Amino acid sequence: MESQKRKPRADAVRNRELLISAARDVLKTGGPNASLEAVAREAGVGIGTLYRHFPTREALFHAVFSRDLEDIVVLAEGQETAADPVAALRSWLHANVALVETKRGMLGALSVVMTPESKEAYSGDMQRIKAAVDRLLERAAEAGQIRDGVTSEDLLQTMYALCYAREPGPDWREKVLKLLDIFLDGLKL
């Protein structure tokens, strides 16, 4: 192996971190169309540096959210041994909504995640989430509690769609959960 690699430069590592952190802030208020130049300014680096680290908007988003995605995965995997599969599903979805709520800007930004172009970039995390949710769905279907033929993708898409449909506001969570629960009820049988 010619893995005679140099150690990564310290400034590069530092700047990357600064950018992610700045992006987190800017996305929070600016949503998915937030200005990347603003991110660079906030991070105190040149715009060129931003683009070198993250060639596309999606790449930056990915870096910002991969940790949050991690939380979601852990949550899903934690539910896998729960007694009531449907309740587990519901509970995971609710937790998920709550997470989206706290992240605010993430709400809009997450929609970017679901677009086909970025599917590839996210494949790693998404794969794990999908796998976990699929196991939950399968368990519930086997227990005869929900219809089958419903994929984790269906469920995730619906959840994010409902989150995304409504502007943040005082009754945001309440409304989203209401619609989500109706959907879950439709799943039963």
Partner DNA sequence: ATATATACGGAGGGTGCCTCCGTTTTGCAA
Partner DNA sequence: TTGCAAAACGGAGGCACCCTCCGTATATAT
Q: Name the residue nearer to DNA (CB basis): 48 or 144.
A: 48
CB atoms within 10 A of CB 12: 12
In Å, how far are 30, 39, 71 from 24, measured between CA atoms? 10, 9, 16
Which of 25, 150, 172, 173 binds a second copy (CB under 8 A)? It is 150
Q: Is 1 helix (H, G, I), strand (E, B) or coil?
A: coil
The binder of 166, among DNA, a second copy, none, by C-beta within 5 to 8 A per type, is: a second copy
Q: Name the residue nearer to a second copy (CB basis): 21 or 158.
A: 158
CA distance linking residue 109 with residue 104, whole number of Å: 9
3-state helix, strand, coil in the chain (%, to 5): 80, 0, 20
Residue 59 makes contact with a second copy by CB under 8 A: no
Which residues 3-62 are close enough to bind DNA by CB under 7 A?
6-12, 15, 33-38, 44-49, 51-53, 55-57
The strand pairing partners of 93, in sequence order, are none
Least Å from the CB of residue 183 to a second copy:
5
Which of 28, 75, 82, 164 binds a second copy (CB under 8 A)? It is 164
DSSP 8-state class, residue 6:
P
Q: Name the residue nearer to a second copy (CB basis): 45 or 159.
A: 159
Q: Name the residue nearer to DNA (CB basis): 15 or 79.
A: 15
Nearest to 61 by CA among 125, 116, 130, 113: 113
The binder of 150, among a second copy, DNA, none, by C-beta within 5 to 8 A per type, is: a second copy
CA distance linking residue 143 with residue 137, whole number of Å: 10
Residue 168 makes contact with a second copy by CB under 8 A: no
Q: Is 5 helix (H, G, I), strand (E, B) or coil?
A: coil
Q: Name the residue nearer to DNA (CB basis): 33 or 151.
A: 33
Where on the chain is the footprint of DNA (CB under 7 A)?
A: 6-12, 15, 33-38, 44-49, 51-53, 55-57
